[in-house]
Amino acid sequence: MEKSTWVATPNIAVVKYWGKKDNYLNIPNNGSISVTMDETLSTRTTVEFSPMHKKDELVLNGQFARDTELARAVKVLDAIRKAAGIKERAHVESENNFPTAAGIASSASGFAALACAGADSAGLQASEKELSIFARLGSGSACRSVLGGFAEWKVGSKKNGSDSYAVRVAPAEHWLELRNVIAITDSKRKKTGSAEGMELTTATSGLYSERVRTRPEIIRLMKGAILRKDLPDFLELTMRESSHMHAVMLDSFPPIMYLNDVSREIMWSIHEFNKSKGKICAGYTFDAGPNAHVYTVEKYANEVERMLRGISGVQKTIVCRSGNGPRKLSDMYALF
Amino acid sequence: MEKSTWVATPNIAVVKYWGKKDNYLNIPNNGSISVTMDETLSTRTTVEFSPMHKKDELVLNGQFARDTELARAVKVLDAIRKAAGIKERAHVESENNFPTAAGIASSASGFAALACAGADSAGLQASEKELSIFARLGSGSACRSVLGGFAEWKVGSKKNGSDSYAVRVAPAEHWLELRNVIAITDSKRKKTGSAEGMELTTATSGLYSERVRTRPEIIRLMKGAILRKDLPDFLELTMRESSHMHAVMLDSFPPIMYLNDVSREIMWSIHEFNKSKGKICAGYTFDAGPNAHVYTVEKYANEVERMLRGISGVQKTIVCRSGNGPRKLSDMYALF
């Protein structure tokens, strides 16, 4: 068993995951679709299974992880050990190339990198499907980051989650012009974490079952828009889906509100921008936080970025393309 | 026909009206329940039908009303004329005892006062039902302000709206301890007016039909909570209903967002307050704007008011009780 180092990137859901059937296995209530990002934002992870390690250890951005954080990684390592038929414990080190405080979810890239580097270090010839399932156990949305480009996470129907994984809708090359202009806004402490928020919504929102019931049709429409590279359809579906998720969050009791006045200003500005162009050429999506991911194409990216920078409360913008998914690095890049 | 002067007060919906079956007649898609406020905030209106007036005129806070504003009043005056069998035009003057800029909807109190003073000046012995219908033609929610205390606006089933009016759930005296602590927050210009917003929601929100479908049950529960004077039930239903409406607003496309960071802080503080008390003893509701109406009982009113005043962005607080509905004033108080 050798040390293995992989880099993986976050993904942004354009049809969103919010609410689980199974809290331990991270099996979602509805399917989702995402775009995997390029390496502008990425996580590098080195895993080494070895008889030398007495217990699983995770060093995250230079700090030993504990409790829940460590437990999530161990869940992934356990699944890899089981598949590989090994017993060895692992030492894991992981680093993000972006500040954690920036409020960009790093769990998707983190667990995708862990799944790939872990399986590789365990000597497992894992398929994308297997890697996606390993990643899912750490963080639901990570199962989509194992794939490059445009990915769909299938709910599946099996109790053990063996058919709940991400599949490719289209590779990154399919839509090269696409850009994600990220606007980092003031990020105060979240009042409700994602896991806790999901449980609250599924337990208390009267509108949630309607959300779950209607997602398959939205997924069908979103796949069509991606495959046709239909920008206005893709963007309108993306914006509507973002608001749809935030609507059922607001319908929770107590209500969950991740959007703030800056997010609201961004949303409003995008609609004004589209109006000025006479067509939909930019569209926002917000995950469980106030940072905006604004999708557009190369042609409008500079203009959109300038506009976002002009909004008071936008601290920084970052532009990404869609990326190719995780890749292995040479030992030169190992973290230990 | 004599000059008649009436005072009427706003009402706050605890089960809310959002979306119309008939735009001209203001027939709603779902029923609603409100609490009529006392005269802390009120509108005084004088109406005189007379052969001397060549056309209907409306002076609102010292300014002649025109266009849409005037047209809404004429709709009410026309209905009164038809019922009374008269042809005379009317001169109307109306004044709010609170600044219009404060962002508190004055159309409910305004059209309730117009309906009462208009019918009286026309010599009509109008029932509450008739007055409620007259008021509804000017502004949907005004039909509830014609009744004191706790009122339910029935959707009705007739095309002409003759069975769409408010009925009494309980008089103001039923729950004397109840208080409404209003928190006036920074009120920027609304980006979407109510009428426009309702049309947008009914046309574009996928969740809206679910809202309409489920309101009768919420109305049943809310009536029960009011009749039992069950404070925790009343407050929880009120908070949930407020968020429910704002959720379908957010689900509209483009999204409608009336809640801002200050509203959000208020909501959060109320939940913290209830947590500290170990029970639900205060509950917010927001109409189509960022100002909060926080319901509580006398016992907690000072504490709630102090807490709201401590929130940055809360400019002013006003405390109301539930009120008895419109009343006639002597000619001494006529506005002209």
- Residue-wise pLDDT for A62-89, tens only, equals 999 999 999 999 999 999 999 999 999 9
| Predicted pLDDT at B253 | 98
Average pLDDT taken over every residue of chain A: 95
Q: How confident is the model at residue B189 (pLDDT cuts 50, 70, 90)?
A: low
Q: Does A104 touch chain B (CB under 8 A)?
A: no
Query: Does A190 score more than 90 pLDDT?
Result: no
CA atoms of A28 and A215, how far apart (whole Å): 12
| Predicted pLDDT at B295 | 98
CA atoms of B314 and B267, how far apart (whole Å): 12
Write the pLDDT tens digit of every residue in B260-283: 999 999 999 999 999 999 999 999
Question: Hey, which residues 259-288 in chain A have their CB within 8 Å of chain B?
Answer: 259-261, 264, 267-268, 271
CA atoms of B247 and B237, how far apart (whole Å): 15
CB contact at 8 A, B93 and B100: no
Query: Does A148 score more than 80 pLDDT?
Result: yes
Percent of chain B with pLDDT over 90: 92
Set of chain A residues whose Cβ sits within 8 Å of the Cβ of B253: 236, 239-240, 243
Query: A145-178 in b/e burial notation, b at 16+ Cβ within 10 A?
Result: bbbbbbbbbbbbeeeebeebbbeebbbbeebeeb
Write the pLDDT tens digit of every residue in B115-151: 999 999 999 999 999 999 999 999 999 999 999 999 9
Residue B335 in any domain: the answer is no
Same domain membership, residue A148 and residue A107: yes
Same domain membership, residue B37 and residue B107: yes
User: How many domains, chain A?
Assistant: 2
Mean pLDDT of A162-166: 98
Residue B333 in any domain: the answer is no
Residue B100, both tokens: 């219009």
| Predicted pLDDT at B289 | 87
- CATH, residue A110: 3.30.230.10
Same domain membership, residue B67 and residue B193: no
Residue B75 in any domain: the answer is yes
Query: Does A192 score more than 90 pLDDT?
Result: no
Same domain membership, residue A94 and residue A35: yes
Beta carbons within 8 Å of B145's beta carbon, 6+ residues apart: B8, B9, B10, B11, B34, B36, B108, B109, B111, B112, B135, B325, B326
Residue B329 in any domain: the answer is no
CA atoms of A325 and A321, how far apart (whole Å): 12
Q: How confident is the model at residue A98 (pLDDT cuts 50, 70, 90)?
A: confident
Same domain membership, residue B253 and residue B117: no
Respond yes or no on whether ipTM tops 0.90: yes
Same domain membership, residue B48 and residue B100: yes
User: Distance, in angstroms, between B107 CA and closest chain A CA?
Assistant: 27
Same domain membership, residue B128 and residue B213: no
Closest residue to B247, CB basis, from A247, A261, A268? A247
Other CB atoms within a 10 A radius of the CB of residue B31 amount to 21
Same domain membership, residue A206 and residue A164: no
Q: Nearest 5 degrees, angle CA A130-CA A135-CA A139? A: 145
Residue A329 in any domain: the answer is no
Residue A247 in any domain: the answer is yes
Same domain membership, residue B230 and residue B132: no
Contact B254 A267 (CB under 8 A): yes
Residue of B213, B261, B270, B286 to mutate, testing the A interface (most A Cβ within 10 Å of its Cβ): B261
- CATH, residue A267: 3.30.70.890
User: Distance, in angstroms, between B244 CA and closest chain A CA?
Assistant: 5
Cα distance from N-terminal residue to C-terminal residue, chain B? 15
User: Distance, in angstroms, between A332 CA and closest chain B CA?
Assistant: 48
Write the pLDDT tens digit of every residue in B206-216: 999 999 999 99
Same domain membership, residue B183 and residue B155: no
Mean pLDDT of A182-206: 86
| Predicted pLDDT at A334 | 97
Boundary residue ending a domain (A171, A193, A210): A171
Contact B253 A268 (CB under 8 A): no
| Predicted pLDDT at A258 | 93
Same domain membership, residue A17 and residue A166: yes
Residue of A nearest to B214 (CA): A206
Mean pLDDT of A277-283: 98
Q: Does B250 touch chain A (CB under 8 A)?
A: yes
Contact B247 A251 (CB under 8 A): yes
Residue A332 in any domain: the answer is no
Residue B214 in any domain: the answer is yes
Write the pLDDT tens digit of every residue in A241-261: 999 999 999 999 999 999 999
Query: B264-284 in b/e burial notation, b at 16+ Cβ within 10 A?
Result: bbbbebbbebbeeeeebbbbb
Report the range of poorest mean pLDDT among A104-113, A171-180, A220-229, B242-251.
Answer: A104-113
Range of the domain at B199: 178-320
| Predicted pLDDT at A189 | 57
Boundary residue ending a domain (A133, A155, A171): A171
Set of chain A residues whose Cβ sits within 8 Å of the Cβ of B246: 250
Average pLDDT taken over every residue of chain B: 95
**Cα R_g (chain B), whole angstroms:** 19
CB contact at 8 A, A118 and A47: yes
Other CB atoms within a 10 A radius of the CB of residue B331 amount to 10
Same domain membership, residue B145 and residue B43: yes
